[in-house]
Amino acid sequence: MTLVPFDDRDGWIWLDGALVPWRDAKLHVLSHGLHYASGVFEGERAYAGTIFRLRDHTDRLHHSARVMGFDIPWSAEEIDAACAAVLTANGLSDGYVRPIAWRGSEALAVSAAGTSVHLAIAAWAWPSYFAGNRMEGIRLTMAEWRRPPPDTAPTAAKATGLYMIGTMSKMKAEAAGYADALMLDWRGRVSEATGANVFFVIDGELHTPDPDCFLDGITRRTVIRLAQKQQMKVIARPIEPEEIGRASEVFLAGTAAEVTAVREIGEHRFTPGRVTESLMQSYDALVRQGDAEVRQALS
Ligand code: PMP
């Protein structure tokens, strides 16, 4: 597959209040967000023309910005409408939507005083996050980098700066032939993959780490609800790496990754099975429902 560079595509991007031609959606190299990681973003997926749990993503975007000390000068209603407009303008009914907010180029110093806040929203087709069939199972290696404690980084925000350890970990994993890396947290407990949360099936129950120093994913919360509706016991708790070998099934959950089976983590092997398949199917069905049905299904 040839990758078309993102700055060499056609289409429309919403930038600070209006749709602009894709190629014109530029920012200055002296933008605060680039130098000091004063940026927050979202990753959303549209299915059959509707963005799944859009308002939850928009609320998280606003929340992430507040954690970082700035306000995005557009309301949730305006951002939701802009996301939908970007999809339509690009002729997409299924696709990935990326809103990003950052501090501008009026001032360039650690202090961001005097900078304005910008918002851009792009969308493109991104059929699958990992290559291959999601039920086949991907191979993960253990990351060398750990997720930082919540008093050293804004871990509850989807902040651009937090992705540097993810990118380093993912690049190293890919260079070694793996699809992704499983990260531990600063205490040495299992946390998440570089862009998705992780679930383990142990003795027929679903276990997932407490999201106390990483993103409590919207997909994670969706999957927990779907599992509970299927009368499954779901336990969010601290998980030690030594427990990984006790799992019969492992899967990742994230907006881009959706539900993806894992067949290998380091020395451990897993066979994607009934629980993963059932939750994958329920998730795939749910995301194609309208907003009201989704709310009802998750209530
Ligand atoms: N963790 C990280 C680091 C992520 O980038 C993502 C994707 N946003 C997730 C977890 C899953 O979050 P969500 O289900 O809300 O997409």
82 CA from centroid of ligand 1 (Å): 21
Give the domain range for residue 163: 138-298
> Which secondary-structure segment (H or E) carries 66?
helix 54-67
Q: Are 125 and 68 in contact (CB under 8 A)?
A: no
Residues 81 and 48 in one domain: yes
CB of 220 shorter than 6 A to ligand 1: yes
The reported pTM is 0.97
288 three-state secondary structure: coil
Atom 13 in ligand 1: residue holding the nearest Cα: 217
- Shared-domain flag, residues 146 and 238: yes
Judgement on whether residues 270 and 148 belong to the same structural domain of the protein: yes
Which residues, 6 or more positions from 284, have their beta carbon under 8 angstroms from its beta carbon? 258, 259
- Alpha-carbon distance 63 to 289, whole Å? 26
- Per-residue confidence in pLDDT tens, the chain, 299 aa: 568 999 999 999 999 999 999 999 999 999 999 999 999 999 999 999 999 999 999 999 999 999 999 999 999 999 999 999 999 999 999 999 999 999 999 999 999 999 999 999 999 999 889 988 999 999 999 999 999 999 999 999 999 999 999 999 999 999 999 999 999 999 999 999 999 999 999 999 999 999 999 999 999 999 999 999 999 999 999 999 999 999 999 999 999 999 999 999 999 999 999 999 999 999 999 999 999 999 999 99
Contact 28, 46 (CB under 8 A): no
| Cα-to-centroid distance, 255 and ligand 1 (Å) | 7
- 93: in domain: yes
Q: Cα of 267 to ligand 1 centre, how many Å?
A: 25
Same domain membership, residue 189 and residue 97: no
> CATH number of the domain that 85 lies in?
3.30.470.10
* Residues 275, 79: Cα–Cα separation, whole Å: 36
Is the CB–ligand 1 distance for residue 255 below 6 Å? yes
Closest atom of ligand 1 relative to the 162 alpha carbon? 3
Are residues 96 and 182 part of one domain?
no
User: In degrees rounded to 5, what are phi and psi of residue 102?
Assistant: -150, 165
Residue 158 annotated in active site: yes
Residue at which a domain ends, from 124, 148, 173: 124
Contact 158, 40 (CB under 8 A): yes
Query: Do both 147 and 292 map to the same domain?
Result: yes
Nearest alpha-carbon partner for 251 in 216, 211, 200:
200
Q: Which two tokens stand for residue 247?
A: 């799992």
155 and 60 in a common domain: no
Cα 49 to middle of ligand 1, angstroms: 21
CA-wise closest residue to 131 among 223, 284, 3, 265: 3
Single residue among 78, 98, 124 that ends a domain in this structure:
124
Q: Report the separation in Å between the CA atom of 197 and the middle of ligand 1, taken as the mean of its atom positions.
A: 6
Q: Whose CA is nearest to atom 7 of ligand 1?
A: 195
User: Is residue 162 domain-resident?
Assistant: yes
Ligand 1 contact, 192 CB (< 6 A): yes
Query: Is any atom of ligand 1 closer than 6 Å to the C-beta of 197?
Result: yes
Structure confidence at residue 162 (pLDDT): 97
pLDDT on residue 3:
85
Task: For residue 268, give the 3-state DSSP assignment.
Answer: strand
In a 13 Å sphere around the CA of 245, the CA atoms on its Cβ side amount to 4
Between the CA of 1 and the centroid of ligand 1 the distance, in Å, is 25
DSSP 241: G
Rounded Cα distance between 272 and 199, Å, is 12
Whether residue 218 has its Cβ less than 6 Å from ligand 1: yes
Instruction: Let me know: does 36 contact 115? Beta carbons within 8 Å.
Output: no
| Ligand 1 within 6 A of CB of 195 | yes
Tell me, yes or no, whether 220 and 246 share the same domain: yes
Domain count, the chain: 2
Q: Are residues 232 and 276 in the same domain?
A: yes
DSSP letter at 257 equals T
- How far apart are alpha carbons 258 and 197 in whole angstroms? 10
> Where do we find the tokens 């056609």?
10
Q: Which two tokens stand for residue 95?
A: 């696709």
Is there a single domain that holds both residue 167 and residue 110? no
Which of 215, 258, 283 has most ligand 1 atoms within 8 Å of CB, for mutation? 215
Give the ligand 1 atom nearest the CA of 166: 3
| Rounded distance between C-alpha atoms, residue 96 and residue 109, angstroms | 33
Phi, psi of 55 (to 5 degrees): -65, -35
Instruction: Assess whether 269 and 180 both reside in one domain.
Output: yes
Separation between Cα atoms, residue 132 and residue 41, nearest integer Å: 27
In one letter, which amino acid is 146? Answer: R
> Cβ neighbours of residue 208 under 8 Å, at least 6 residues apart?
197, 198, 199, 200, 220, 224, 234, 235, 236, 239
Query: Domain with 195 in it: what CATH number?
Result: 3.20.10.10
In a domain, 203, yes or no: yes
Structural domain contains residue 5? no
Quick check: is 2 in a domain? no
Asked if 186 and 258 sit in the same domain, the reply is yes
Rg, the chain, Cα only: 19
pLDDT computed for residue 1 by the predictor: 55
- Which atom of ligand 1 has the smallest separation from the CA of 163? 3
Please state, in angstroms and as integers, the Cα–Cα distance from residue 267 to each residue in 130, 241, 243, following that order: 21, 12, 13
- Of 68, 99, 124, which residue constitutes the final position of a domain? 124
